[in-house]
Structure 1
Amino acid sequence: MIYLIRHGQAGFLKENYDQLSELGARQAQLLGKALKERNQSVSKIISGSLIRHRKSVDHSLESYGQKLSFTLDDRWNEYDHMELLAKYNPKFTDHSVIGDHLMKEENPMRSLQQILNNSISDWIKGEKEYVLEWQLFKENSWKALKELADQLKSGENAWVFTSGGPISAILIQLLSLKDEQFIDLQGRLVNSSVTKVLVGKNGLSLSTYNDYSHLDHNRNLITYR
């Protein structure tokens, strides 16, 4: 089984997004505790190279109670949301401009979500040039998953600490969905949630999507950004 773990809450709406908030650290700790209580063994741990990924590993393993090593793989990194926003609207290269724009809206959070969704939609359409094109991002995520699956022996489990983007890109291919459904899949992923992929004789299949039962006891722990 491969556990695709979304990182804890990051620095949403802060200039430096790539950091865990205090709540994000707590979410990762609760995940590690839950994995320990469920007696979930792990043979291999992979992490994206972003700070929020690596810190999520650290906090989870601290609660899991074992000092385990992990490998970094850039293919598990998130796309650059700031590049997508800038291509959607060149004025959005500045965080203050985005903030000023949202303050004029009746529902700032809803407006921000729509802007983000529109920028992702443009990226998927491929009508503009990006440092990392959508098709390559999708291919990289799938190749990373396949390579990891090929390394696992019968009965072994792997944990992958990553972001909502790679997880959702994998689900698109795993479930033969349309690329446009990526936005909805990603938008539903909870911070520190677990999506399980079964590695079987007939290939890869989805076992569990977006499991955040380790947070269910307190709704204030459940975040999406």
Structure 2
Amino acid sequence: MGVIYLIRHGQAGFLKEDYDQLSDLGAKQAQLLGNALKERNQTLSKIKSGSLVRHRKSADHCLESFGLKLPFSVDDRWNEYDHMELLVKHNPRFTDYSAIGDHLKQQENPMRSLQQILNNSIADWIKGEKEYALEWQLFKENSWNALKELADQLNSGENAWVFTSGGPISVILIQLLSLQDEQFVELQGRLVNSSVTKILVGKNGLSLSTYNDYSHLDHDRKLITYR
């Protein structure tokens, strides 16, 4: 039996002009994961990464802490959707982060309001009533096909690590567990930065073993982030 570990990137620059960068905490989260995997005597045969900076930097920090200098292949099917495009399509006023910030300053509970805006923009995307550069159905297909291709490359007893985002992980879970598309928001919202979701590759196909494991961060709640 093979195993695929889907690793969510470390904390990035949420609501900053350049979101696609790891924060100092994000780098530490990835390093702690590498240490934890080394202590568990993890082995690996293949390493994959999305092409975003936060994916590749998470891989670098994790592998360095693990003590490996193996190259990893990049596949943009493991990339996240463009959340700014979704926000603008939902509300054309949200052309940049400053416009969103101005709106949130007027709200009684800015963080709750932001989460609702994000959820509504994703709901629009799933419904498919507007045109997007990357449609929901294609996003689902890309993530699932990337997983299936990787699974087909694994021999019995081999492991693969994939450094990716919450979106691809969540749509894969929808497929594996035969869930409704509308459950995507909840699944993604629970994923902790640098968490691990474990997929078993067996003769009868793919199955979920572990979802959102962040035990490497449990010793300090300040290390646990969702953005």
**TM-score with structure 1 setting the length:** 0.99
| SS of the residue 1:92 aligns to | coil
Distance 1:205 1:215 in 2: 25
Q: How many residues align?
A: 225
Q: CA deviation at 1:94?
A: 1.9
Question: Residue 110 of structure 2 corresponds to which residue in structure 1?
Answer: 108
Distance 1:66 1:50 in 2: 21
Q: Which of 157, 168, 190 does residue 159 from structure 2 map onto?
A: 157
Question: Residue 207 of structure 1 corresponds to which residue in structure 2?
Answer: 209
| SS of the residue 2:42 aligns to | coil
Amino acid at match of 1:183: V
Kindly report structure 1 stretches of 4+ aligned residues shifted beyond 6 Å: none
Q: Which of 141, 162, 171 does residue 173 from structure 2 map onto?
A: 171
Question: Residue 97 of structure 2 corresponds to which residue in structure 1?
Answer: 95
Distance 2:132 2:174 in 1: 21
Distance 1:20 1:29 in 2: 12
Q: CA deviation at 1:80?
A: 0.1
Question: Residue 58 of structure 1 corresponds to which residue in structure 2?
Answer: 60
Question: Residue 46 of structure 1 corresponds to which residue in structure 2?
Answer: 48
Q: CA deviation at 1:215?
A: 0.1
Question: Residue 120 of structure 1 corresponds to which residue in structure 2?
Answer: 122
Distance 1:165 1:19 in 2: 17
Q: CA deviation at 1:120?
A: 0.2
Amino acid at match of 2:175: Q
Distance 2:81 2:154 in 1: 27
Query: Which stretches in structure 2 are left out of the alignment for 5+ residues?
Result: none
Q: Which of 17, 20, 23 does residue 18 from structure 1 map onto?
A: 20
Q: CA deviation at 1:95?
A: 1.2
Distance 1:165 1:66 in 2: 27
Q: CA RMSD in A?
A: 0.4
Distance 1:66 1:134 in 2: 36
| SS of the residue 1:93 aligns to | coil
Q: CA deviation at 1:115?
A: 0.3
**TM-score with structure 2 setting the length:** 0.99
Distance 1:153 1:94 in 2: 46
Q: CA deviation at 1:35?
A: 0.4
| SS of the residue 1:128 aligns to | coil
Distance 2:84 2:108 in 1: 23
Distance 1:190 1:59 in 2: 17
| SS of the residue 1:210 aligns to | strand
Distance 1:94 1:166 in 2: 24
Question: Residue 72 of structure 1 corresponds to which residue in structure 2?
Answer: 74
TM-superposition CA deviations, 1:154-196 (whole Å, max 9, x none): 0000000000000000000000000000000000000000000
Q: CA deviation at 1:152?
A: 0.1
